[in-house]
Amino acid sequence: MNKRVILITGTPCTGKTTIAKALTAKLHAECINLTDYAKTNNLTSGEDKERNTLIIDEEKMRTKLAETINATDKANIIIDGHYAAAVTPTELVANVFVLRRNPKELKQFMEKCGFEGAKLWENLSAEILDVCFIEALQTQPGKVCELDLTGKTVEADVNEMMDVLEKGKKCYTGLVDWLGMLEHEGLTDQYLKA
């Protein structure tokens, strides 16, 4: 059976898990949330207390993901996580969707999720500076679709992904320039903080 592995990546609070669940339902796929997967399969090597997050053992994660993908009887596998592009074996990946969100909207979402202080600013900076997008381009070349979800519904986002996956719609990259937007609006100092 040919299996299609679809990665959904992006900065925290861009909507990865919500979108992954909705796309999983549409495709009758197996869904792997990397945070849960790492905990369940003991794929961590410690905790970053300063950031209040687990440290992933990337090599163990890569090996275990390959095992899980090969063992599943599902034709579609969706992997959801901000580091999905870095830990999923490239040869197994068909599509990578990098979810993007305007920093103004993203900041509100992050605050609603309880992000504050250094964790808020570090993750907001990651979105502004294209960290997940660049990682996807470097680790999964030729497979990346960038989607700006700002102000859109989950249904609209999933439909756009389905157009790529099922109808052959062309993928685009380079859609957003948050840094340029913030510079143009004179807001860089309000959103890029150490």
pLDDT tens-digit series, residues 66-115: 999 999 999 999 999 999 999 999 999 999 999 999 999 999 999 999 88
Residue 1 has what pLDDT?
Answer: 60
Number of domains observed in the structure of the chain: 1
Q: How many of the other CB atoms lie within 10 Å of CB of 193?
A: 13
CATH code of the domain covering residue 40: 3.40.50.300
For residue 118, the enclosing domain spans 4-191
| Cα(109)–Cα(127) distance, integer angstroms | 13
For residue 51, name the pLDDT band (cuts at 50, 70, 90).
low
Residue 43 has what pLDDT?
Answer: 87
For residue 44, name the pLDDT band (cuts at 50, 70, 90).
confident
Q: What is the mean pLDDT of residues 108-130?
A: 92
Q: Report the run of H or E that residue 145 belongs to, with start and end.
A: strand 144-148
pTM: 0.93
Q: How does strand 30-33 pair with strand 4-10?
A: unpaired
Is a pLDDT exceeding 70 seen at residue 52?
no
Report in angstroms the alpha-carbon separations of 118 from 4, 54, 66, 171. Answer: 37, 16, 34, 34
For residue 146, name the pLDDT band (cuts at 50, 70, 90).
very high
Is a pLDDT exceeding 90 seen at residue 194?
no
H helix runs in 28-173, sequence order: 34-40, 58-71, 84-87, 103-112, 117-128, 131-139, 154-167
| Cα(63)–Cα(28) distance, integer angstroms | 24
| Cα(155)–Cα(193) distance, integer angstroms | 33
Residue 176 has what pLDDT?
Answer: 93
Instruction: Report the share of the chain in percent with pLDDT over 70.
Output: 96
| Cα(154)–Cα(98) distance, integer angstroms | 15
Is a pLDDT exceeding 90 seen at residue 118?
no
